[in-house]
Amino acid sequence: MGNGIAHVFAQFGHQVNLIDISQSALDKALETIGKNLDRQVVKGAITEEEKAGTLANLTPHTDMAKGVQGVSLVVEAATENVALKLKIFRDLDAMTAPDVILATNTSSISITQIAAETQRPDKVIGMHFMNPVPVMKLVEIIRGYSTSDKVTTTIMEMSRKLNKVPVEVNDYPGFVANRILMPMINEAIYTLYEGVAGVEEIDTVMKLGMAHPMGPLQLADFIGLDVCLAILRVLNDGFGNPKYAPCPLLVNMVMAGKKGVKSGEGFYSWSHGTKELVVADNFK
Ligand SMILES: NC(=O)c1ccc[n+]([C@@H]2O[C@H](COP(=O)([O-])OP(=O)(O)OC[C@H]3O[C@@H](n4cnc5c(N)ncnc54)[C@H](O)[C@@H]3O)[C@@H](O)[C@H]2O)c1
């Protein structure tokens, strides 16, 4: 997600410092951005000059203190882990000027909880981009309990300048997008777990029957099964309602390291190198 967010800001003229603790993640991110820009050029969406300008706006950093020096906005998109995000925001609060807006791309962690780690809860906001970021129009803008009107307006306007459509929502577990999406994905996994239908059948029903661009099991593989599990746990804990309890099959798959596209296998096998959907051996 970080590379997609950096791509879009850089494409629309912002100087972007792309920060990761891992040098190889940064190398991979710049390679991905390059390939995605090439695709935009081929489609005629941008020119070669715009591609070069976008790449020139990007500077990778492994040191967060250096990377956030002199910035006016931070968009955090580190791993979805509460303790990690709280630490990053304590550090960002100490490392940046007090007027800097601190946004997070979290899919599910409370903006209010993150904001409470800082001395500027009015300037902490959710900026939830969708995957793949350069393609998807929506940005869910999440107001924490203390987020100010001014900061919300600034981030809504900035999102529009990135050619996105921002939607303002309040800070409750899962916000809007994942509160509705994750129970659907979980139900699809339960449907498989209970033997109602197979992977391809479930996805075909939802693709052709509901006009979804891809089925919920394929989408779960794209999002990352570990990310889906983490979000369901936030919903389950946050509402205390068993309807959000993650399906045991999802829990097992994550424990087995089958996380979807990023690990090479989830409901489908992703290691064969073609675009064709191949159901994972466990579900054949
Ligand atoms: N995957 C999706 O479809 C999706 C969609 C919307 C939002 N999100 C959210 O975006 C965020 C990132 O998701 P992702 O799927 O890209 O995760 P990911 O695990 O693939 O990537 C996270 C990156 O953060 C880096 N990182 C970890 N600790 C760090 C630190 N202390 N400082 C700097 N970098 C650090 C990791 O090295 C890794 O490269 C999460 O909050 C997730 O909930 C994900």
Structure confidence at residue 277 (pLDDT): 94
The question of whether 108 is a catalytic residue gets the answer no
Which letter, b or e, does each residue of 229-252 get, where b requires 16 or more Cβ atoms within 10 Å of its Cβ?
Answer: bbbbebbbebeeeeebebbebbbe
Best residue among 79, 86, 138, 222 to mutate for probing ligand 1, ranked by most atoms within 8 Å of CB: 79
- Distance (Å) from CA 268 to ligand 1 centroid: 22
Of 111, 112, 115, the closest CA to residue 127 belongs to 111
Structure confidence at residue 276 (pLDDT): 87
The arithmetic mean of pLDDT across residues 76-102, rounded, is 96
The question of whether 107 is a catalytic residue gets the answer yes
- Distance (Å) from CA 28 to ligand 1 centroid: 14
Structure confidence at residue 169 (pLDDT): 98
The question of whether 3 is a catalytic residue gets the answer no
The arithmetic mean of pLDDT across residues 124-131, rounded, is 96
Instruction: Pick the range with the lowest mean pLDDT from 9-13, 45-49, 66-70, 271-275.
Output: 271-275
The alpha carbon of 151 is separated from its chain's Cα centroid by a whole number of angstroms, namely 21
* Percent of the chain with pLDDT strictly greater than 70: 100
Assess contact for 6 and 16: CB atoms under 8 A. Answer: yes
Cβ < 6 A, ligand 1 pocket: 1-2, 19-22, 25, 64, 77-80, 84, 88, 105-107, 128, 131, 223-224, 227
Assess contact for 79 and 37: CB atoms under 8 A. Answer: no
For the segment 137-186, what is each residue's pLDDT rounded down to a tens digit? 999 999 999 999 999 999 999 999 999 999 999 999 999 999 999 999 99
Q: Which of 128, 159, 263, 265 is catalytic?
A: 128
DSSP H helices in 57-136: 64-67, 82-95, 111-115
Alpha-carbon span 119 to 134, nearest angstrom: 32
Structure confidence at residue 274 (pLDDT): 76
Alpha carbon nearest to ligand 1 atom 21, residue: 79
Alpha-carbon span 127 to 156, nearest angstrom: 9
Place 64 in a pLDDT band, splitting at 50, 70 and 90.
very high
Q: Is the pLDDT of residue 273 over 90?
A: no
- Distance (Å) from CA 129 to ligand 1 centroid: 12
Q: Is the pLDDT of residue 120 over 90?
A: yes
- Residue 209 has φ and ψ, to the nearest 5°, of -80, -35
Beta-carbon contacts of residue 239 (< 8 Å; ≥ 6 apart) = 173
The single-letter code of the amino acid at 233 is R
Place 80 in a pLDDT band, splitting at 50, 70 and 90.
confident
Locate the ligand 1 atom nearest the alpha carbon of residue 88 and give its number: 31
Locate the ligand 1 atom nearest the alpha carbon of residue 2 and give its number: 16
Alpha carbon nearest to ligand 1 atom 7, residue: 107
Locate the ligand 1 atom nearest the alpha carbon of residue 231 and give its number: 43
- Distance (Å) from CA 12 to ligand 1 centroid: 22
Structure confidence at residue 272 (pLDDT): 81
Model pTM?
Answer: 0.91
Mean pLDDT of the chain: 97
For the segment 176-223, what is each residue's pLDDT rounded down to a tens digit? 999 999 999 999 999 999 999 999 999 999 999 999 999 999 999 999
Assess contact for 260 and 220: CB atoms under 8 A. Answer: yes
The question of whether 140 is a catalytic residue gets the answer yes
Best residue among 227, 232, 233, 259 to mutate for probing ligand 1, ranked by most atoms within 8 Å of CB: 227
Q: Is the pLDDT of residue 128 over 80?
A: yes
Q: Is the pLDDT of residue 41 over 80?
A: yes
Structure confidence at residue 179 (pLDDT): 97
For the segment 213-272, what is each residue's pLDDT rounded down to a tens digit? 999 999 999 999 999 999 999 999 999 999 999 999 999 999 999 999 999 999 999 988
Assess contact for 51 and 37: CB atoms under 8 A. Answer: yes
- Residue 176 has φ and ψ, to the nearest 5°, of -105, -50
